[in-house]
Structure 1
Amino acid sequence: MIKPVLLDEQLCFSIYRAQKAYNHFYGKVLKPYGLTYPQFIAMLALWEHGTMSVKELGHHLELDSGTLTPLLKRLEADGWVDRKRASDDERRVDVSLTEQAESQKLEIYERVGNCTNYLAFTSDKYHDLRQSMNEVEKHLNAIQADTDRFA
């Protein structure tokens, strides 16, 4: 007989709880800017890579356009991004940062950076945790690629 893995012993539940706590934490950190965590990661990608299409941004964030479009509309309404149809291909919508986004970039980086210090992780611990999560994701993606396992 297989021994069931209890809820509090499930890795998936630990990751789920940590993700909820992290999003709640970031919600408080970003509240003065009116940004949600998903909006913040979109801003991070744009600060890092500059103007890109909605499709490219979705690729970086691993979000589909149905999820990304309302998020971008809200960012645009709040003055963080501009969305414009590409002149060379009207099917493509390019997303760029506004002056507001550029002017508050360092302040937001500093605020988030200072807040992550509250976790009290050494840089090695932080790096190890991030690597562990990347490893979990890699293994899950490999398992999902083998669709016969779940047939």
Structure 2
Amino acid sequence: MEEKIPLQLAIVYLFRSHTNYLRKTLKNTGITIGQFPVVVETHKHETISQKELADILFLSEGTISKTIKQLEDKGIIEHEVNPENRRQNKISLTEKGSEIAEKVKYTEINWEKKVIEEIPPEELDNFFDNLKKITNKAVNYSLKE
């Protein structure tokens, strides 16, 4: 009989394998794993504010600001001051950024398809239902502690 992997270890293995996949996929794009979600999320919008981006990605505005600066230095993202609110920057991808985003936008979908391809749909539905319950319980538990 195969030994069960503890939940926390299974999550670590899943996370590390995903990180390795992303690292290989992004190797020749000029963006890092940390910059990847900013590029992909910005690509979904014509323009987006730094605050909106931070909220969507659950990152601090400081982290978003630093990442945007790095991507600007690479010619991937550009920003302009919002004329309606001078304290807000409007972020958009450059042509180079759009080309990169088009290359990598299906990265997550492809990875997920590959890792779940052999699991029957009814088992997947059950798995995702249970994963949602576990996640909600873990979040609530950590907030109480």
Q: TM range, normalised to the smaller chain?
A: 0.7 to 0.9
- Residues 1:50 and 2:84 aligned together: no
Aligned pair count? 139
Q: Could you tell me how far apart the structure 1 residues matched to 2:124 and 2:22 are? A: 16
Deviates more, 1:119-128 or 1:62-71: 119-128
Partner amino acid, structure 2, of 1:39: Q
User: How big is the shift at 1:32?
Assistant: 0.6
- Matched position secondary structure for 2:20: helix
What does residue range 93-112 of structure 1 map to in structure 2 within 5 Å? 93-109=89-105, 112=107
TM-score (norm 2): 0.75
Q: Could you tell me how far apart the structure 2 residues matched to 1:41 and 1:57 are? A: 10
Residues 131 and 47 of structure 1, relative CA distance in 2, 3 Å threshold:
farther
Residues 90 and 133 of structure 1, relative CA distance in 2, 3 Å threshold:
farther
User: How big is the shift at 1:24?
Assistant: 2.0
Cα deviation 1:71-113 (Å, max 9, x = unaligned): 1111111111112221222221221111112234333336x37
Q: Could you tell me how far apart the structure 2 residues matched to 1:107 and 1:49 are? A: 16
Structure 2: gaps (5+ residues): none
Q: Could you tell me how far apart the structure 1 residues matched to 2:113 and 2:38 are? A: 23
Partner amino acid, structure 1, of 2:16: K
State whether residues 27 and 35 of structure 1, in contact with CA within 8 Å, keep that contact through their aligned partners in structure 2: no
**Residue of structure 1 equivalent to 2:116:** 121
**Residue of structure 2 equivalent to 1:89:** 85
**Residue of structure 2 equivalent to 1:3:** none
User: How big is the shift at 1:120?
Assistant: 5.0
What does residue range 1-151 of structure 1 map to in structure 2 within 5 Å? 9-109=5-105, 112=107, 116=111, 119=114, 121-122=116-117, 124=121, 133-145=131-143, 147=144, 150=145
Residues 18 and 102 of structure 1, relative CA distance in 2, 3 Å threshold:
same
* Structure (1 or 2) with the greater helix fraction: 1
**Residue of structure 2 equivalent to 1:4:** none
State whether residues 77 and 93 of structure 2, in contact with CA within 8 Å, keep that contact through their aligned partners in structure 1: yes
State whether residues 43 and 92 of structure 2, in contact with CA within 8 Å, keep that contact through their aligned partners in structure 1: no
State whether residues 38 and 53 of structure 2, in contact with CA within 8 Å, keep that contact through their aligned partners in structure 1: yes
State whether residues 85 and 94 of structure 1, in contact with CA within 8 Å, keep that contact through their aligned partners in structure 2: yes
User: How big is the shift at 1:33?
Assistant: 0.4
Q: Relative contact order: is structure 1 or structure 2 higher (C-alpha 8 Å, sep ≥ 6)?
A: 2
- Matched position secondary structure for 2:105: helix
